[in-house]
Amino acid sequence: MQNYLELLNPAQREAVISTEGPSLVIAGAGSGKTRVLTYRIAHLLKNGVPPWNILALTFTNKAAREMKERIATVVGSKVAAHLWMGTFHSIFARILRIEAQHINFPKNFTIYDTADSKSLIKSILKEMKLAEKEYKPGDVLSRISSAKNDLVLPHTYARDQHRIMADKAARKPLIHDIYNRYMRACMKSGAMDFDDLLLNTNLLFRDHPEVLANYQEQFRYILVDEYQDTNVSQYLIIRKLADKYKNVCVVGDDAQSIYSFRGAKIENILNFRNDYPGYQLFKLEQNYRSTQTIVNAANSLIAKNKGQIPKKVFSNKSEGNPIKIMQAFSDVEEGFLVVNDLKNKLLEFSCQYEDFAILYRTNAQSRIFEDVLRKNNIPYKIYGGLSFYQRKEIKDLLAYFRMIINSNDSEALKRIINFPARGIGKTTLEKLEATAAHNGVSIWEVLVHPELSKLGFNAGTLKKLGGFVALIREFQAKSFNLDAFQLASEVVSQSGILKELHQDNTPESQSRIENIDELLNAIKDFSDSRKESGQENSITLFLEEVSLLTDQDNDKAEDKNKVTLMTIHSAKGLEFRNVYIVGMEEDLFPSGRVSESESGLEEERRLFYVAITRAEEHAVLSFAKRRFKYGDMTYVRASRFLGELDPSYIEMTGDTIQQNQATDNFGSANQRFGKSFEKQPAFTPKKFNFSESINKNPEKKPLFSENAFTNAFDIKIGMSVQHERFGIGEVTSLEGTGSNVKATVLFSNAGEKQLLLKFAKLKILN
């Protein structure tokens, strides 16, 4: 790997070797951005810059990990290990722990996730006697988050006419008050939410110039990936840190800015020239990923946006196949069309499962594709939704660890004070919470206060509370002698969690036990690898790692060679030979919430651009005519974005059931498609078309057959059926009529279950 410079094109090479002074790298989709970042860092190291003088900030942990591995192949893993490389959140959490004493936080502060934050907001609403209907915790949190990302503290918020007016207009005039209480409560709990990690870093640097000076000196070279998605808070951290040496290299693509909803400012990249005069500009315009058709189609789309950094992304690869658009009558049929097309490509182009991705705008769309893939025995992995670390039993166990490390963490306490059930109910907890809020202390401090007995609890309750305190203290005492894994095992057995789960012997509790085992294994792996590398191995470090994980970071070995299902947002940075972009409908993509504003629409368009440019060989777009929304079947229109792609790159596949209806299907969107689009035959006689492929595979089930789905009416007494969770069983009785038929099934492993056929996805065996 010594000649890494030879692996680069001229533009990439310039970006790698121009290490001094500010640099802006505009990297078109698929243009080798990661390669440039990787080799730039390797180049610095090769030229004698110590790794601890380099700060590299990425968007996901996974990106950081992969880049570190690639750098290690050039300079060795010992050197690479000393790089400061990670997400903004993980790097600055680490720094905040080191500098905690300066900002009035304990070193062992907890990191609240969104669920913790919402739960805290609910408590505050209760205390303020505000209705949750008026002040939805999620909405309140996003207002607070947006303020924090703009570095607006509560007292400034209260005087910020803009925000106050907006809140009044939204009939939530008291947000500033909630925000204030929220901040105080976090402080009492010794907790920071995600935004606080960045906000407090800013406050640390603002109020402690000597601390800032140290880090400026340390981080002589700063690299930032996905710069177009940084928010004000992140932007200012970079500016401060880079202020001394100005060796800052930011990489990004304004055309791929898709996170404004969480405070990202595309202006950060657009204004780089003003912030760092004398900067060098590098443009990476050759796309190595996709066919010319895909690149050109994507260009034709993004050209509809205004105010971009001029660039001309091109591909030297083959022309490739046209982008296919498929229309379906319903969301379910869309699932079949996509999976059928996938199966054809699998054979036609000798693809692996891992060569496919199904991308959607919202997580809720995944279910239908999961069903169809499962029925076709196609392995898939799904990102998003409930991740492992958000499952109840996992969060409960982690809450014990949090209490051990930081007993002032009131959200953790609320989770476990009565889990497993120890007779401390809602009333008791409410009283404790109110007392804590009234006295400005954490719940734990109330519990351990000598005058607890004067609060009017009865003797039984007092005893139970005392038992809980003793339990936590016992764990704390043990935590000094045990490693992370030993302590975790101790908690699982001594807290009564395991006993409780073993007692109610249901399939659910069984799967919970399995999850807990999995967590213990993860902790063991963590402990062992830490021990091997001679590093500290405390539960604190494990928690730190876990609380900043995303489900993208949980790549497992068994997840190799599977079809990928994810939102377009999480697909950023990835690539696949074949990409399906599904649900191309108005009010879904573009989302109805934003398509009224021009800037919102432009962001949706960038999102579509990101989606298309994930594809190396084939991009397939699909939409349905009818779709279930909120449990109702609704009629929907094709997305306006379909008409914005240059029609010369598109192939339509028609409506295979009733061709004469195909044209109506576009509704108003049809007018936007323009003449050339309309002229396309509704049913292109090409080789991947749909009806032919059915004929080609006569052994396969016809796509539109009712039989493809288990029909509730088909299930009869005595049948042998399979359930996703409960396994195989026999139907012993049926009751009810119509869609409400309830079956009693005797499962060989799970015992007898009553199942509503419309919900339980029973597969008929034999």
Partner DNA sequence: CGGACGATCCTTTTT
Partner DNA sequence: GGATCGTCCG
Residue closer to DNA by CB (options 473, 629) is: 629
573 CB-near residues (< 8 Å, 6+ apart) = 34, 59, 60, 63, 226
Stretch that binds DNA, among 85-93, 284-292, 303-311, 408-416 (CB under 7 A): 85-93
The reply to whether 194 sits near DNA by the rule CB under 7 A is yes
Stretch that binds DNA, among 215-223, 396-404, 593-601, 654-662 (CB under 7 A): 593-601
Active site residue 94: no
Q: In terms of Cα–Cα distance, which of 541, 284, 519 is closest to 397?
A: 519
Question: Which residue of 363, 509, 697, 744 would you call a contact of DNA, by CB under 7 A?
Answer: 363
Please state the separation of Cα 5 from the chain's center in Å: 34
The reply to whether 129 sits near DNA by the rule CB under 7 A is no
CB 744 within 8 A of CB 731: yes
How many other CB atoms are found less than 10 A from the CB of residue 724?
A: 10
**Contact set for DNA, span 609-638 (CB under 7 A):** 628-632
The reply to whether 238 sits near DNA by the rule CB under 7 A is no
CB 293 within 8 A of CB 322: yes
- We find the least distance from the C-beta atom of residue 465 to DNA, in angstroms, to be 10
Question: Which residue of 73, 77, 214, 427 would you call a contact of DNA, by CB under 7 A?
Answer: 427
Residue closer to DNA by CB (options 560, 593) is: 593
Main-chain phi, psi angles of 695, to 5 degrees: -65, -35
Strands 632-635, 615-629: pairing kind: antiparallel
Residue closer to DNA by CB (options 60, 693) is: 60
Furthest-apart CA atoms within the chain: distance in Å: 83
Question: Which residue of 4, 39, 84, 88 would you call a contact of DNA, by CB under 7 A?
Answer: 88
Active site residue 256: yes
Q: What does the alpha-carbon distance between residue 241 and residue 224 come to, in Å, rounded to a whole number?
A: 12
Stretch that binds DNA, among 94-102, 159-167, 178-186, 361-369 (CB under 7 A): 361-369
Q: In terms of Cα–Cα distance, which of 93, 186, 206, 110 is closest to 141?
A: 186
CA distances to 291, 327, 601, 603 from 591, in Å: 28, 19, 8, 10
The reply to whether 138 sits near DNA by the rule CB under 7 A is yes
Q: Which of 196, 226, 616, 644 is catalytic?
A: 226
562 CB-near residues (< 8 Å, 6+ apart) = 353, 354, 379, 380, 381
Active site residue 33: yes
Number of residues that bind DNA (CB under 7 A): 51
| Binding pattern for the stretch 254-273 against DNA, x by CB under 7 A and - elsewhere | ----x--xx-----------
Fill in the DSSP letter of residue 702: P
521 CB-near residues (< 8 Å, 6+ apart) = none
Report the SS3 class of residue 626. strand
| Residues across the chain | 766
The reply to whether 89 sits near DNA by the rule CB under 7 A is yes
Stretch that binds DNA, among 342-350, 374-382, 548-556, 557-565 (CB under 7 A): 548-556
Q: What does the alpha-carbon distance between residue 483 and residue 524 come to, in Å, rounded to a whole number?
A: 9
CB 294 within 8 A of CB 615: yes
Stretch that binds DNA, among 130-138, 161-169, 372-380, 516-524 (CB under 7 A): 130-138
Q: What does the alpha-carbon distance between residue 76 and residue 55 come to, in Å, rounded to a whole number?
A: 18
Q: What does the alpha-carbon distance between residue 109 and residue 187 come to, in Å, rounded to a whole number?
A: 9
Residue closer to DNA by CB (options 136, 637) is: 136
Question: Which residue of 34, 292, 550, 691 would you call a contact of DNA, by CB under 7 A?
Answer: 550
Residue closer to DNA by CB (options 141, 294) is: 141
- We find the least distance from the C-beta atom of residue 524 to DNA, in angstroms, to be 25
Active site residue 68: no
Q: Is the dihedral of CA 147, 148, 152, 155 positive or negative?
A: positive
Residue closer to DNA by CB (options 185, 488) is: 185
| Binding pattern for the stretch 18-57 against DNA, x by CB under 7 A and - elsewhere | ----------------------------------------
Q: What does the alpha-carbon distance between residue 336 and residue 340 come to, in Å, rounded to a whole number?
A: 6
Residues annotated as catalytic are 33-34, 225-226, 256, 614
* Residue ranges in contact with DNA by CB under 7 A: 59-60, 87-89, 114, 122, 132-133, 136, 138, 194-195, 258, 261-262, 361-364, 367, 384, 418, 421-428, 461, 548, 550-552, 566-567, 569-570, 591, 593-594, 600, 628-632, 758-759
